[in-house]
Amino acid sequence: LAQLKGKFVLSLNDVPEIRTTFSQFKRKEVTTSYTCGSKYPIPAKELIISNCDF
């Protein structure tokens, strides 16, 4: 992604490995709920990762 000429926005689980892998990009923490395959929402944290300003 570092050589990408365009802009990108990516959302991934907020875990240490993801933070390390994408440390060169802008990141923003967000709270969300996972509901797929679950009867009730499960709170979760995601990282929005981008090479442009939020």
Counted domains in the chain: 1
The tens digit of pLDDT for each residue in 8-54 reads 999 999 999 999 999 999 999 999 999 988 889 999 999 999 999 98
Does 3 map to a domain? no
Does 46 map to a domain? yes
User: Can you give the length of the chain in residues?
Assistant: 54
Q: Determine the pLDDT at residue 13.
A: 96
Q: Determine the pLDDT at residue 38.
A: 84
What φ, ψ does residue 16 adopt, rounded to 5°?
Answer: -55, -40
Residues spanned by the domain of 29: 9-50
Quick one: DSSP state of residue 54?
Answer: -
Does 2 map to a domain? no
Does 1 map to a domain? no
